[in-house]
């Protein structure tokens, strides 16, 4: 099992900026309509491991389908670097787009396919 590290991430223009503690395990590649179009590779963390450092007022919220996940994106540059939702056990969680984290070698990851299209 990989060691947990603190990563910094955010949107393209830099208005939305955060820190997340994660081991980047697992990471998933979801085929739902939004993840597929955004090219997101996701990892999930409890809210206690995520700190939004700036940009709360710069976020817009998009929901679709069952409207249980808040797909947040910067209203200036359009990048969706994280989402807020609920884990299967009912606890609050954050879905982080790993492509929006600094110092991560995306090519070194092995995302697990997830069939979100069937949900």
pLDDT above 80 for 2: no
CATH number listed for the domain at residues 5-118 = 2.170.150.70
76-96 burial, b for 16+ CB within 10 Å, e for fewer? Answer: eeebbbbbbeeeeeeeebbbb
What sign has the CA pseudo-torsion 71, 76, 78, 81? negative
pLDDT above 80 for 1: no
DSSP count for the chain of H helices, then E strands:
1, 10
Mean pLDDT of 7-28: 97
The domain segmentation of the chain, as residue ranges, is: 5-118
Tokens 């797909």, residue located: 71
pLDDT digits (tens, 9 = 90+) for 89-108: 999 999 999 999 999 999 99
pLDDT digits (tens, 9 = 90+) for 59-91: 999 998 888 899 999 999 999 999 999 988 999
Give the pLDDT confidence score for residue 117 in this predicted structure.
84
Distance CA 54, CA 47 (A): 16
> What phi-psi label fits residue 90: left (phi over 0), alpha (psi between -120 and 50 degrees) or beta?
left
Of the chain, the percentage scoring pLDDT greater than 70 comes to 99
Neighbours of 37 (CB within 10 A): 8
């Amino acid at each position: 099992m990989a060691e947990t590290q603190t990563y910094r991430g955010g949107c393209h223009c830099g208005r939305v900026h955060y820190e997340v503690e994660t081991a980047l395990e697992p990471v998933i590649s979801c085929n739902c309509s939004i993840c597929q179009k955004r090219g997101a590779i996701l990892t999930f963390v409890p809210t206690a491991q995520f700190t939004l450092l700036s940009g709360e007022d710069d976020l817009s919220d998009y929901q679709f389908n069952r409207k249980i996940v808040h797909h947040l994106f910067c209203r200036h540059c359009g990048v969706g670097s994280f989402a807020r939702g609920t884990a299967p056990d009912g606890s609050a969680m954050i879905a982080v787009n790993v492509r929006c984290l600094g110092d991560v070698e995306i090519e070194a990851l092995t995302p697990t396919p997830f069939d979100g299209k069937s949900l």
